[in-house]
Structure 1
Amino acid sequence: MTHTFNNKISLGQNFLNNPEVTRRCLKEARLNSADVVLEVGPGQGALTRGLLQSPCRFVHAVEIDRRLAPWLEPLQAGQPGRFKIFWGDALVADLRRLLPPPNKVLANIPYNITTDLIWKILVELGPRRLERLILLVQKEAADRLNAPPATKERSPLGITLEQMGAVRTLMKVSPGSFNPPPKVWSALISIDLTKNFGLAASPLWRRLLAAAFAQRRKKLVNNLAAAGCGKERSAAIFAAAGIGLAARAEELTAPQWRALFQELAAAEN
């Protein structure tokens, strides 16, 4: 049966139609028989079919648009003990309730929810030893996640990922790889989590980043002081962490962020 579908622009749907990108996603996921995969936004099932042909143990799929049921429900009916669809918004769903818990995530993320969705995945699945994410994102988002210190693209999420593991851009993906084609280039990225699995869920870490980037052009010590840390306490913490008082949030290196967080945590205890 042939199904027709008109995309909802409001949902940010751009369905992947490039088999080479799908193959690369599956290759980089490095799936084995112990893996449990979460696929966010399976769309018409191009990647889902590849996942179900892989050796992975189980596949969860979260899809917001029930009009995609003619493509996805037959896949669930064919492998009911290995594939389950959750109809709803991934930004609202409680990912901690997925059983068995996913250790890998594959997703073609709508551009308008990229940052929020990655944060949510890290917060809810990171502490459960999430290992790898293979994501299709807007190229500009990939650049921000990979941004080194002292660049304007430096971001709280990129810094968090740097503390939890590593981000790699695997390939650039042209607009013609999607239907309908977006107006911008995309990138396929991998995120490997190897340490600090609960960091994104730490209230102190999130407060630190929010205060640090509240006013990017201001000195970091002033941002923290204005957020309630106080000037003297902030200066003492900076001295203990070996960070100059003139430093701005985007300038700190990974070891400096780690030292600052550790000093703040010690000061609160």
Structure 2
Amino acid sequence: MAAIDGLPPLREVIATHELAAKKSLGQNFLLDLNLTARIARVPGDLSGADVLEVGPGPGGLTRGLLAEGARRVLAIEKDARCLPALAEIGAAYPGRLHVLEGDALEIDPLAHLTGPIHVVANLPYNVGTELLIRWLTPAAWPPYWSSLTLMFQREVAERIVAQPGDKHYGRLAVLAQWKCEVRIALTLPPEAFSPPPKVRSAVVHLRPRPEPLYPADPDILSRVVAAGFNQRRKMLRASLKGIAPNIEALLEEAGIAPTDRAERIDIARFAALARLVAAQRAG
């Protein structure tokens, strides 16, 4: 698929603008426009929505989103070298692409977006997890976004969708699945990128639940889960001893054996424990 919009193939764009990917920025440019179009279709119909894209690079996914009908794309790009290539895309789609130069960790995109909003991004590897956690922990829920469609290293994707007992199951799985329906939408081989990464990549789709799966105070649940998985080889009565003075009794009341380890505990029991800890602190 040489082009989807009359613009040059991505390899040509990268060569023209001398856009060798920078490891320091976590860049791996996705070159296959067939794949960018498939990723753009994951959230569903975008014709009535704004899309937030982080780290567009030379614009492969940006082009896919616009070609698939996104009402408007807000692209946040830290690498100034990519701006001329993105400007060419903007010229091909007048009024539908707005580019902000800067760090996505420091920019509030809401002033530039109109709902409904979908986030679709081939995230830079070095900030992907941090951005996901920010999107999952806004001050109020439901969040401003209608869905997240995000590319990660395959191992990170597996951590997001993992179930109890799985070696990948941890804090990220609990946090994501407590608030969202999650699935791996597609897996991508290294050769789809420039430069090819040493690992496979995967696209994860997250759709927010109207309210979290089980009631719990988000801060307390986060602390309980973090303490449990920070020392995942330890029994919970040991790893959680700093959470509450009578942690063994609370564990048992939540249906958790004090000798269990965090990787075996489902979200329902973590939430139950968080509620008990909150009630004890309030009482």
Query: Partner of 1:204 in structure 2?
Result: 220
Please say which of residues 203-212 and 88-97 is displaced more in the overlay: 88-97
- Note the C-alpha offset of 1:113: 2.4
* In structure 1, C-alpha distance between the alignment counterparts of 2:222 and 2:146, rounded to whole Å: 21
Verify the 8 A CA contact 1:129 1:197 in the aligned structure 2: no
Gaps of 5+ in 2: 1-12
Query: Partner of 1:40 in structure 2?
Result: 54
> Is structure 2 residue 182 aligned with structure 1 residue 167?
yes
* In structure 2, C-alpha distance between the alignment counterparts of 1:201 and 1:88, rounded to whole Å: 33
* In structure 2, C-alpha distance between the alignment counterparts of 1:130 and 1:162, rounded to whole Å: 16
Question: Which structure shows the higher helix fraction?
Answer: 1
- Note the C-alpha offset of 1:56: 3.1
Gaps of 5+ in 1: none
Q: How many residues align?
A: 266
Verify the 8 A CA contact 1:60 1:86 in the aligned structure 2: yes
* In structure 2, C-alpha distance between the alignment counterparts of 1:174 and 1:61, rounded to whole Å: 25
Query: Partner of 1:264 in structure 2?
Result: 277
* In structure 1, C-alpha distance between the alignment counterparts of 2:186 and 2:92, rounded to whole Å: 32
- Note the C-alpha offset of 1:52: 2.2
Amino acid at match of 2:252: A
Verify the 8 A CA contact 2:122 2:150 in the aligned structure 1: yes
- Under a length normalisation based on structure 2, what TM-score does the superposition of the two structures give? 0.83
Verify the 8 A CA contact 2:228 2:236 in the aligned structure 1: yes
Verify the 8 A CA contact 1:28 1:134 in the aligned structure 2: yes
> Is structure 2 residue 231 aligned with structure 1 residue 218?
no
- Note the C-alpha offset of 1:248: 1.2
* In structure 2, C-alpha distance between the alignment counterparts of 1:63 and 1:102, rounded to whole Å: 22
Taking the TM superposition and a 5 Å limit, the aligned residue runs for 1:97-246 are 97-100=111-114, 103-124=117-138, 127-196=142-211, 202-226=218-242, 228-230=243-245, 232=246, 234-246=247-259
* In structure 2, C-alpha distance between the alignment counterparts of 1:225 and 1:100, rounded to whole Å: 46
Please say which of residues 133-142 and 79-88 is displaced more in the overlay: 79-88
- Note the C-alpha offset of 1:61: 1.1
* In structure 2, C-alpha distance between the alignment counterparts of 1:158 and 1:3, rounded to whole Å: 39
Provide the identity percentage.
37
* Cα pair distance change 1:5/1:166, threshold 3 Å: same
* Cα pair distance change 1:103/1:260, threshold 3 Å: farther
- Under a length normalisation based on structure 1, what TM-score does the superposition of the two structures give? 0.87
